[in-house]
Amino acid sequence: MRVLENFINGAWVASAGTTLLDVKNPATGELLAKVPLSTSADVDAAVQAAKAAFPAWRAVPPVQRARYLFKLKGLFDQHREEIANICTSEHGKTFSESFNDFGRGIENVEHACGIPTLLMGQNLEDVASGIDTRVLRQPLGVFAAITPFNFPPMVPLWFLPYAIATGNTFVLKPSEQVPLSQRRIFELIQQIGLPNGVVNLVNGGREVVEAICEHPDVKGVSFVGSSNVAKIVYRKCGETGKRVQALGGAKNFIVIMPDADMERAVQNAVESCYGCAGQRCLAGSVIVPVGDAYERVRDAFVAYAKKIVLGDGKDPATTLGPVISRAHKDRVLSYIEKGLQEGAKLVLDGRNATVPGLPDGNWIGPTIFEDVRPDMVIGREEIFGPVAAFMRAKDLDEAIRLANASEFGNAASIYTTNGKAAREFGARVEAGMVGVNIGVAAPMSFFPFGGQKASLFGDTKAHGSAGIDFYTERKIVIERWF
């Protein structure tokens, strides 16, 4: 069985860790590979390689660094279907979801190709008589990213292109549950001829995360995952003076007004809740039909959900794949049981879902609760699975209050044909990303990505202008010549 290696200083090397985890196809149960739980020594080797590479790499002109990324973007385009197939095998999402997953990552590489413009500073002549001032953006050194299982190709590419484009060097720890996409992506990166040590990859789990957060030569850390872990990463990085962007969990509300284009609104809401098996931080979680829209929305939502086809993501007929693991399936099922215990009404039950010929898949069908209250566990905690909860609101004010009562503030959406209602929602809802007639409020690569409240800890959001800010230090030069 294939045992994955780390990529350090331009070469694939065996991990010092002796514990191996199975990487399985969540639809079929097939064993795909084994991934090592690397050690702090592995992290140190990667960081030292990145540190050694930094002085020469930061001296490479930005326009030349951009040329490496142009090559990488071309390679990624050529191998997009291959990476999508790998992603579907290790994660379970449908091929189209995997294809778009990697596509969003490629967009970040494309955006980072504009680094000569993105790095431009500011200047002002004669701030005082004979004195000029200019602002320079400079790289800091070694950065690292700790990324989750739910978007294996995309999320690492929120960070890696911007880190190296700005002149820093980089260490990635991908999720140990889905390491194969990044293995292949780093093989492609290897082909563009970056100097050794500029990018490095260390597989592993908790020990690797802790070593990254505590290493004195790591200048900044990017993290995407649960809010509980994001808080820990934020605290540990703060204690050692690192920059940190820690993107946490979500409980996203979708408000549907009575005047909405109902067919499109409900179809979008269903896709938001069940796309990627609900395993995304922008997934719709709580549906709030306003006023007399409630019954119409609920009935149409249930009807659409019943049409979803559960199966292997490689089957073109499949519209809902498995959840990532048996342990995660058990976690989602425990939330469904908790909802029943708390008195929510189970309108559509996905607990006993099966797929013919695939008895080892981690199947959960579309699940719908109504009569959910904000104080219920299923009304306030992130389930991260194909479970939707319905809440009632008599008007827009109440709908906004329900959304703002959540500890999270990642995303929120409203469906309406009323511009005033949309504007009021956008202004008042406490969410970092807001959709108006959009069910998945995902910004493009040239805008920042991130939430508010318990959905984001740290200095800046991901990619866009925020990414450039995170990876550079502004130096102000005030000069006078006699």
Q: What amino acid positions are annotated as catalytic residues?
A: 281
C-beta separation of 445 from 240 below 8 A: no
Determine the Cα angle at 89 with ends 88 and 92, to 5°: 55
**Rounded distance between C-alpha atoms, residue 265 and residue 276, angstroms:** 19
Closest CA to 270 of 295, 299, 243: 299
103 phi, psi to nearest 5 deg: -60, -40
C-beta separation of 395 from 291 below 8 A: yes
3-state secondary structure of 166: coil
Q: How far is CA 11 from the centre of its chain?
A: 27
DSSP assignment of 45-110 equals HHHHHHHHHHHHHHTS-HHHHHHHHHHHHHHHHHTHHHHHHHHHHHH---HHHHHHHHHHHHHHHH
3-state secondary structure of 288: strand
**Rounded distance between C-alpha atoms, residue 443 and residue 464, angstroms:** 9
C-beta separation of 368 from 235 below 8 A: no
Count CB atoms within 10 A of the CB of residue 261. 14
Q: Give the length of the chain.
A: 482
**Rounded distance between C-alpha atoms, residue 31 and residue 59, angstroms:** 44
